[in-house]
Structure 1
Amino acid sequence: MKATVSWQQAMQFRGTTDTGHHIDMDGEGNAVSPMEAVLLAAGACSSIDVVEIMKKARQDIQACRCEMSAIRADDAPRVFKQIDAHYIVSGNDISEKHLARAVELSAEKYCSVMLMLRGNVTINTRYTIE
């Protein structure tokens, strides 16, 4: 895997992956900040796992959203101290047992982004079935 980050103007940068996808980032609030991108990556990575695990468990999942929040250190470097991930899942006859297991497996075994952060960041998860 490779990526390139190129300065565009002011404090704006474009990240481009070797697969040709890109994300615009900014240090002044005009686009996603690099730390917001990390938080989004954790939520997306984990949500992919949850949906996959639920489908493999033959759960009729129709929607999944992950509401993320983070607490950062007060002083530089302003690293994440805590991340909270709340999964809201809907579908037909969703099993709470299956959803609990999917969230647990993602956070503790499969989500590479969360696993990279583990040890440095407290990660809390919870879920709701709508």
Structure 2
Amino acid sequence: MTNHITTTWLGGMAFESNNPSGHTLKIDAGPESGGDGSGFRPKALMLSSLAGCSGLDVASLIQKMKLEVDEFKIDTIANLTEEHPKYYDSVVIEYHFTGSNLKEDKLKKAVDLSVERYCGVMEMFRKFAKLDIKILYHHK
């Protein structure tokens, strides 16, 4: 299976990129790089892709396991190298679960399944970055 994405220059430093979902997103550089900051930054989008990929896995497992979670968010904190080409050499991925009836063992299993088996973006990141997975439970 292949994905075909078309990314079209809009002028200046801005681009529009399509997606197999039928949606588009705008990519732009910040003012410090000659853009006007009207779109997503490419490297930061990689972190959204990482969190989104794993988040979909975990959300699916939360539903399948019938777990009660009031809030679920993922923070990705990445270190960018100093030298060009700059890339993320380490990423901390924090899974935050909030609720009054959190089943910590099952939530950990859901995260572990995503991290170790299901998330393809996680596997890609492993090729170039050290990953640090943290799970935080916030009991109400």
Please indicate, yes or no, whether the TM-score normalized by the shorter chain is above 0.5.
Answer: yes
Q: Which amino acid aligns with 1:116?
A: M
Task: Kindly report structure 1 stretches of 4+ aligned residues shifted beyond 6 Å.
Answer: none
Alignment of 1:106-125 (within 5 A): 106-125=114-133
Other structure's SS at 1:39 match = helix
Unaligned runs of 5+ in 1: none
Report sequence identity in percent.
24
User: How far has the Cα of 1:28 moved from its partner?
Assistant: 2.5
Tell me which amino acid in the other structure corresponds to 1:84: V
Separation in 2, partners of 1:6, 1:90: 40
Structure 2 residue ranges without an equivalent (≥5): 32-36
Deviation at 1:18, TM superposition (A): 3.5
- Shift of the alpha carbon at 1:46? 0.8
Aligned to 1:20: 22
2:18 is the counterpart of 1:10: no
Which residue identity is paired with 1:97? D
Greater alpha carbon shift after TM alignment, 50-59 vs 40-49: 50-59
**CA-to-aligned-CA distance 1:45-98 (integer Å, 9 cap, x gap):** 111111111222221123211011100111011111011111111234111111
Higher strand share: 1
Tell me the amino acid that sits aligned with residue 14 of structure 1: E
SS, match of residue 3 in structure 1: coil
Distance in 1 between residues matched to 2:132 and 2:88, nearest whole Å: 13
Between the aligned partners of 1:47 and 1:18, the Cα distance in structure 2 is 19
What's 1:93 paired with? 101
Q: CA RMSD in A?
A: 1.4
- Structure of greater Rg: 2
Matched position secondary structure for 1:55:
helix
1:44 correspondence with 2:52: yes
Aligned-partner Cα distance in 2 for 1:91–1:27: 38
Q: 2:62 aligns with which of 51, 54, 66?
A: 54
Equivalenced residue count is: 130
